[in-house]
Amino acid sequence: MAKLASIFFSMVLVNNYLLVKFMGICPFLGVSKKLDSSVGMSVAVTFVMLMATAITWPIYTFLLVPFGLEYLNTIAFILVIAALVQLVEIILKKYIPSLYTALGVYLPLITTNCAILGVTLLNIESGYNFIESLVASAGAGIGFLLAMVLFTGVRSTLEYAKPPKSFEGLPITLVAASLVAVSFMGFGGIIESLFGTF
Amino acid sequence: MGITSAIMIISGIGIIAAVMLVLAAKFMHVEEDERIGRVTECLPGANCGACGYAGCADYAKAIVEADTPLNLCVPGGAAAAEGAAKVMGKVAGATAAKVAVVACQGFECNTSKKFDYQGITTCSAAAKMFNGPTACAYGCMGFGDCVAACKFDAIQVVNGVALVNQEKCTGCGACAKACPKAIIHMIPDDVNPVVLCQNVDKGAQTRKVCSTGCIGCMKCTKFCPTNAIKVENNLAYIDQELCIGCMQCADECPVKAIHIPNIRKQY
């Protein structure tokens, strides 16, 4: 249990996919203007991360490993994730159209979101079992949500700042993103102190 | 053996995923009105949000499904409204053209300066220094950030205050965004009077810094036949929807802060 908690919190804070591993920067910069869409995007990413892990872990363990095809995990996972995101898109369009319009172009972008692929691949690489992988994915998703919500707050303040013309728009956003990322460096070592090392 | 099983497994995953997607697309298909796409094509595609919807596609959807007025698109103007009307088989209403107006009359003869500003000659730089050199904290500083922002040469600084040439103004709103004091407003392009002041200080204080600033005396509200004028925070505001253009308020204003912006060209 302590190990699961340790995995979860290390994924949320210490190994945050957006701010420490720098994966999934596209939605981080693209959808973080409004709280509604950033939360929607994060929920979608969390959902897809969990689904992708739930599907890719068995595929890796029961299909690729017995045939000695571990080296194909990247291409197999890309295939599965792409199909999965399309499926989620169809389901959202049918049942939750408001979320579908709120996510707009970014939902298809999850297809090629490296945070999703990164989570599935790193779960395998870390040697997690099925439950641990799911917990790690949930943690990664919640960490994604945390980073997105924090950064949306930073950006809403940024709207009222008048930076020099050359910094307007994306440059100042990137500067702000790097400062938020630096603040997450402060969490380094917190998991070892809380849960001990495994 | 190695390569055969690799090919088989990867193609197997692909085929299974494809079959699932095809089934999902078939069973969860959402009917979309094809007119939405055609209306979207008529709109400029700038996704500016001036219509009040999230983007052009969203507005098109509202036109088709919710019977929204066709004339809300500012950049598209009459052409977009007519295109949408053709698709929908309706008559397009008159498009509401907008023009910029600078809500300040702090010409050099009306107001004074707190200090002599010698820094970078842009409004955004000057505004950061003690809120700018103008005696009125809400007044136009006249360094011409709006002039630089205007792509149509429709705005000029005359006698210390930016003035909009209504003939050339297309209503794009670039100047309103560039103004650090936010005194440029986008208003309907008709002959109604507007309050050309943005000062929300108390009357006596306003009076000290500018001879034509709105002092919030509420005289205009008493003369307005349609109750279109409200005074909030010591500043009068004319509701353009209710205004009938009778000019009573402009005639009665003791500091002459109310004018029709089109007529102001004579200054």
Q: Same domain for B62 and B136?
A: no
Return the residue in A79, A88, A160 with the most chain B beta carbons within 10 A, the one to mutate for interface testing.
Answer: A79
Has residue B4 been placed in a domain? no
- How many structural domains is chain B composed of? 2
Considering only the beta carbons, identify the residue of B5, B10, B58 that sits closest to A75.
Answer: B10
- Percent of chain B, pLDDT > 70? 92
Q: Same domain for B171 and B248?
A: yes
- Picking from B62, B88, B114, the residue at the C-terminal end of a domain is B88
Does B164 have pLDDT greater than 80? yes
pLDDT digits (tens, 9 = 90+) for A74-119: 888 988 888 888 888 888 888 887 777 766 666 777 777 888 889 9
Has residue B11 been placed in a domain? no
Stretch among B59-68, B90-99, B255-264 having the lowest mean pLDDT: B90-99
Which chain A residues are Cβ-neighbours of B29 within 8 angstroms? 94
Has residue B39 been placed in a domain? yes
Q: Same domain for B179 and B136?
A: yes
Q: Same domain for B248 and B127?
A: yes
Which chain B residues are Cβ-neighbours of A87 within 8 angstroms? 20-21, 24
Considering only the beta carbons, identify the residue of A80, A93, A101 that sits closest to B13.
Answer: A80
Contact between A75 and B30 using a beta-carbon 8 Å cutoff: no
Q: Which helix (H) or strand (E) holds B27?
A: helix B2-27
The rounded distance, in Å, linking the Cα atoms of B231 and A194 is: 59
Has residue B20 been placed in a domain? no
Domain of B212, CATH number, reads 3.30.70.20
Q: Same domain for B115 and B140?
A: yes
Q: Same domain for B146 and B105?
A: yes
Stretch B87-92: mean pLDDT: 74
The rounded distance, in Å, linking the Cα atoms of B16 and B215 is: 74
Has residue B251 been placed in a domain? yes
- Picking from B69, B88, B107, the residue at the C-terminal end of a domain is B88
Q: Same domain for B205 and B245?
A: yes
Has residue B16 been placed in a domain? no
Domain boundaries, chain A: 17-187
Q: Same domain for B56 and B79?
A: yes
Q: Same domain for B131 and B229?
A: yes
Contact between A162 and B58 using a beta-carbon 8 Å cutoff: no
What is the distance in angstroms between the Cα of A51 and the nearest Cα belonging to chain B? 14
- Picking from B53, B88, B123, the residue at the C-terminal end of a domain is B88
Q: Same domain for B57 and B181?
A: no
Q: Same domain for B208 and B169?
A: yes
Q: If you write DSSP's letter for every residue of chain A in order, what string do you get?
A: -HHHHHHHHIIIIIT-TTTTS---HHHHHHSTTSHHHHHHHHHHHHHHHHHHHHHHHHIIIIIITTTT-GGGHHHHHHHHHHHHHHHHHHHHHHH-HHHHHHHTTHHHHHTT-HHHHHHHHHHHHTT--HHHHHHHHHHHHHHHHHHHHHHHHHHHHHTT----GGGTTHHHHHHHHHHHHHHHGGGTTHHHHHH---
Domain of B52, CATH number, reads 1.10.15.40
Supply the pLDDT for residue A143: 93
pLDDT digits (tens, 9 = 90+) for B211-254: 888 998 888 888 888 888 988 888 998 888 888 888 888 888 88
Q: Same domain for B48 and B81?
A: yes
Supply the pLDDT for residue B49: 64
Which chain A residues are Cβ-neighbours of B2 within 8 angstroms? 68-69
Has residue B160 been placed in a domain? yes
- Which residues span the domain enclosing B43? 34-88
Supply the pLDDT for residue A136: 93
Which chain A residues are Cβ-neighbours of B13 within 8 angstroms? 59, 76, 79-80
